[in-house]
Structure 1
Amino acid sequence: MKKLCLLVFMTTILCLTACGTDKKDETLESSSSILQTETTTNTEKNPEETSNEIETTGSAENEQESLPKKETTFELTEQGKNFLTQMCKKLNDFNSQTAKDETFWRDFLFYSYTGAYEGVETETVPRDDFDETVVKISLQEAEAYAKLVFDVDLPDIKPSFEDMEQGQTSFYYQNGYYYIGVSDYPDYQYTFADYEESGDSITVRYTIDFEGESNVGTVCFGIVPKDNENGFIITSKSTEF
């Protein structure tokens, strides 16, 4: 009888153990199935999310490219205005059709320095008919000046002292220097009026006063922007009275 009871008890324990194991297996299988489903779902969603991110980035870049670019506006500085005021009296009229020959450059150098601005070096040169005060300008300074005004190299213009005519105001080259006779400019006063831009070119206007009369004429410069101390070079000049 005791053996029979023990056998029944053992059988019951085995059945309960088997049921517990089956439940654990079912729980593990269920958890594994859920995890696999979530992983699949995430995998399916990621390409779309990545695509959306790429499209968003591309749209932002396209918007930046489509924005209008800010144009650089030319500004005529006070230094530039003062320089052009000097050019009103120092520079002969010219335009794109003017031949920049020897006469052009001789006049350019002569009128640029004959006024003997403050601080310039001067000397007295004995002439057959009189002793003349001249301005002494180095070749390097003259070359730099031509570059500043026109952005071109100064040609090899070196007239000798012997080439000058009697009574001529001095203009000759000797030992690395130009010697230019001192003389006065006409008594005109020049006043900045305005300037306007048209494409890459700019027109600058000055009014002319003379002997108490205002606006007796105008001077117009054509300039283009340039990366130098003035911010431009001169491409033309015209004077009207």
Structure 2
Amino acid sequence: MTMNRLKMCLLLIAIIGQWQLLCGQKITGLTATASSGNASLAVDNNTSTRWESAFSDPQWIVVDLGAEYPVNKVIIRWEAANAKNYTLEASTNGTDYTVLATKTNMGGGNRIDTLSNLLVTARYIKINGTERNLTYGYSIWEIEVYQQSAPVLTSMVILPNITQTMKVGSTMQFTAQGLDQNNDPIALTDVQVRLNLPLAVKTARAVTAGVSLPVAQADGSVRVTVARVPVHEIICFDL
């Protein structure tokens, strides 16, 4: 029997299910404690009220998120009596803290500090002031904490190659790899690979037009068996 060879042209079409997207949402329902002063005024969603500490160094304020979150960004809306030097710290238990950022020689006046790309899991966020810009206490209008965006499936690729040549009747495995918004691998869920065969190759036995094959969790793989067709025909289908 003559073994004809077929070239398969692979094009990728992902049918993607609904993905939950956190989109860097602001965390609500915050509470706060501090070394002095009314800490709740820094998390009351009111930029006309403020927390003010005692007139000495150091002073701190701790924001309780209510549960652990993947924290990505903290915004501190300082009043003119702000911190010249301070650290931003995070904790899961309220006792053991990790320093996320150290700020030094920060300017005076009303100031908004945005600390992003923190990428930490935390329940407690602490601002530890070590030196003031003025003789007054540390003063903050509002503290905002944002959770990081969930990985989002933005593209898929077929591995090992876009174009493969196979023997008639042979079987070859292709792997569908999902990539997120940072071009990092992401698990594939609720994704189907659709095979759309042109009418010219309707004699193919292993696959038919409109067949949908599920892709497994993580790196999904699909096996495609090529049926016998005339040697001059090219099987082009969408994965």
Q: Do the two structures share a fold, i.e. TM-score over 0.5? A: no
The structure whose RCO (Cα within 8 Å, separation 6+) is larger is 2
**Structure showing greater Rg:** 1
Q: Which one has the bigger helix percentage? A: 1
Q: TM-score, normalised by structure 1?
A: 0.24
